[in-house]
Amino acid sequence: MTRAAVAILQENRRVLVCQRKKNSRYELKWEFPGGKIESGESVEDCVKRELREELAVEVDAIGRRESQVNRYDDGGVFEVTYCFVLKFTGRPINNVFEEIRWVTLTELQSMDILEGNKAFVSQLDEGFFL
């Protein structure tokens, strides 16, 4: 099983989502920024590293975390920890994705989201915004 950590970045009652590159695994699916946890790395350190690399932002504070195991039809199994970022510094710059976008919860729930994130997204309501 692959362990991953992703960030829930919020601003003005919108959440940041990122679209996977064309010709990548699960191409053009929307997801939250983040990635695989490296050996010896904590969830928090992974989120900080990945957001620095992918979006050029610094994560200053992480609040609540939720974890779930996601299984894909192609055999991929991922334990994903969703980290609610309380504070970050910088404006997100797209360094690795096809596209990044700030969306409302309603928009998010109607997007072509990565299969493993669908259960998490379906549980969200307006109360999840900080």
- pLDDT digits over 35-61, tens only? 999 999 999 999 999 999 999 999 999
Q: Kindly state the average pLDDT of the residues 70-83.
A: 90
For the chain, what's the residue count? 130
pLDDT in the model for residue 130: 57
Pick the CATH number of 2-128 from 3.30.70.270, 3.40.640.10, 3.90.79.10, 1.10.3720.10: 3.90.79.10
pLDDT in the model for residue 9: 96
pLDDT grade for 128, boundaries at 50, 70 and 90: confident
Q: Are 67 and 34 in contact (CB under 8 A)?
A: no
> Residue 4 above 60 pLDDT?
yes
> Residue 126 above 80 pLDDT?
no
* H or E element at residue 88: strand 77-89
pLDDT grade for 33, boundaries at 50, 70 and 90: very high
Average pLDDT over all residues of the chain: 94
Q: How many angstroms separate the CA atoms of 34 and 68, rounded?
A: 15
pLDDT in the model for residue 71: 86
Give phi and psi for 5, each to the nearest 5.
Answer: -130, 135
pLDDT in the model for residue 70: 86
pLDDT in the model for residue 108: 95
